[in-house]
Structure 1
Amino acid sequence: MQMSTRILKEPLGFIRILEFPMVLLAFATTAGYSATLDVKYKCTSIENVFSFSWFYPFDLTNTAISNDLCKQEGGSISIFGEGAVSQSQFFVCTGVLSFLYIIGVLYVYLFQLEKYESDHRWPLLASSPAVLQDFVVTAVLAVFWFIASCAWASGVNVIKGLTDFNLIKNMFMNSVNPCKDKESCHFTPHWNYAALNVSLIAGFACFFLFASNLWFIWKETEWFKSRQTPNVATGQTAGGYPAAADVLPR
C-alpha cells in the first residue's frame, strides 16, 4: 500500500489537516477543565482547609456542603445550581466523533485516494459513492458543531454565572458557620475561564472548517461533475455561455 500526499496540497485535504488540531483543542479543553476553591476556616484555635472542585461534565447539583464546617452536622446547602451537563457532553461527543472520523478519512485520502476518487461503491454502503458518503458525514458533523457550539456557549454562560467568586463567597458568609464571622474564613480561588473560552472559539472554528470543506467535497461528487461534462462537450462555460474560443474570429 503506497501513500500519496497529493490531496493534502489541495483544499480538500488541507482543511482536514486544519480540522484535526482544532477538534482536539475543542473537546480537550472542555473535558480537561477543572476548578477548585480552598476555604481556610478556624474552629476554636485550629485552622482547617475545606476544598471543593467542579469539572466536566459540570454536574454542579452534586456539590453540597454542611452549613456548619466545624461541627459537620445539621443541614446541608447546595453551592451551585443545575450546571451544564447535557451541553458539555454533547459538545465533547461531537468532538470525539469528529476526531475519529478525521483519522479515518485521512487514512483514505493518504492510502486509498484512487479508490476514493474512482470506485463509486467504496467503502461503506454498496449503493453509495465514497465521495457522497464523505459529503453526507461532513454535512452532519457541520450541523452538529453548530448546534453543539451554540448550546455550549449557553452552558458556559451558566457555569460562569453559578461559579462567580463573589457569589460563592457571599453564600458562605451568609449561610455557613464559621464563615458568618467574616474574619474566620479566607477564600482562595484556583480557576479561570480561559479554557472554556478557548473551547468555544475552537467549536465555532470547527463548524466553519467542516462547512467550508463541503464545497470541495461537492466538487468531487458525480452530481457536480455531471453538470460540468455537458458544458465542456458543447463548448459552453458553467454559466451557459459559449466558450471564448468559439466566439473569437478565426
Structure 2
Amino acid sequence: MTGLRLNLTAVREPLGFIKVIEWLTAIFAFGSCAFSSAAVPHYCPHRLNRVLLVERNGTLCNRSVGETHLIGSGVSSAEFFVATAILAFLYSMVALFAYTGYMHVYRDSAYGPMLDFAGTMILAVLWLAISSAWAKGLQNVKLGTSTVGIRTSLALCREEGLTCEVTQFANMRTLNVSVVFGYLNMLLWACNAWFVYKETVWHSQKYAGQERAGREPVPTPI
C-alpha cells in the first residue's frame, strides 16, 4: 500500500525531530538576514553601493564635493544566503510530510533514503559555503561603513589637514545573528545526514556484512 498513512512517530525520532529544528532555524536565518536588511535601508547590505554618502553638488567643510556613494556590497552573498534558507525551509517541509505520511513507502524503497541522504548532504555543504561567503560579505559591509571605508569613499577625507571620523554606526547585530544561524544550520544538516544514512541500503548492507562476519565459525587450529 502506497497511500497516505499519518503517523507522527518519525517526529519523535532523531530523523524527523532534527528536520523540525532545521525548519525552524531556516526561518530564523531567513528572517534575520532578509528582514533586518529591509529595515535598515541606508546600510542595507544588498544595496550599500547605491547609498549616497554625499548628494550631488554637496558641501562639506566649506568645500564643494561631487556625488559620492559608499563602497562595498554584500548583495550576492546575502541573496544566496536567503535563497539557501528558503530551499532548506521547503526541503524540511517536504521531508516532514514524507516522514509523517509516507514513512512506510520511504523505508520500503531503496531510493527514497538515498535521495534524502544526497539532498541532506548537499544542503549541509551549501550552508557551510554560503555562511562563510555571507560572513565575508557582512565584513565588507562593516568595512564600507567604518571610518576606513568612508575615508576610502570620500576623496575629501584624504586631503591634508582634514580628518574624517564615523560617529554613528548602523545596528548590525541581527545580521551577525544571521551568520550564527547559518553555521548552526550547517551543523544540524551535517548531523542529520548520519540519521538519514542509517535509513539507506548502504548502512544496512554494511551492518549485515559485519553481523555475518561475527557469526562465522572460528577455524579449528591444526
Q: Which of the five TM-score ranges fits, normalised by the shorter chain?
A: 0.7 to 0.9
Deviation at 1:54, TM superposition (A): 3.0
Deviation at 1:225, TM superposition (A): 0.6
1:164 to 139, 146, 151: 146
Number of the residue aligned with 2:202: 223
Residues 30, 56 of structure 1: 8 Å contact kept:
no
Letter paired with 1:63: V
Number of the residue aligned with 2:116: 134
Deviation at 1:168, TM superposition (A): 4.9
* RMSD over equivalenced CA pairs, Å: 3.0
Number of the residue aligned with 1:95: 85
1:33-44 pair list within 5 angstroms: 33-34=36-37, 36=40
1:15 to 18, 29, 33: 18
Q: Name the CA distance, whole Å, in 2 between partners of 1:81 and 1:171.
A: 6
1:32 maps to 2:22:
no
Deviation at 1:211, TM superposition (A): 0.6
Number of the residue aligned with 2:68: 77
Query: Of Structure 1 and Structure 2, which has the larger fraction of its residues in helix?
Result: 2
Residues 11, 216 of structure 1: 8 Å contact kept:
yes
Letter paired with 1:198: V
Number of the residue aligned with 1:63: 51
The count of corresponding residues between Structure 1 and Structure 2 is 202
Find the residue that maps to 1:220 and give its secondary structure.
coil
Judged with a 3 Å threshold, the aligned counterparts in structure 2 of structure 1 residues 190 and 2 are, in CA distance, closer, same or farther, namely: farther
Length-normalised TM-score, structure 2: 0.79
Q: Name the CA distance, whole Å, in 1 between partners of 2:33 and 2:167.
A: 23
Structure 1 runs (4+) deviating above 6 angstroms are 169-172
Judged with a 3 Å threshold, the aligned counterparts in structure 2 of structure 1 residues 170 and 135 are, in CA distance, closer, same or farther, namely: closer
Structure ID, larger Rg:
1
Letter paired with 1:15: I
Q: Which runs of 5+ in 2 are unaligned?
A: none
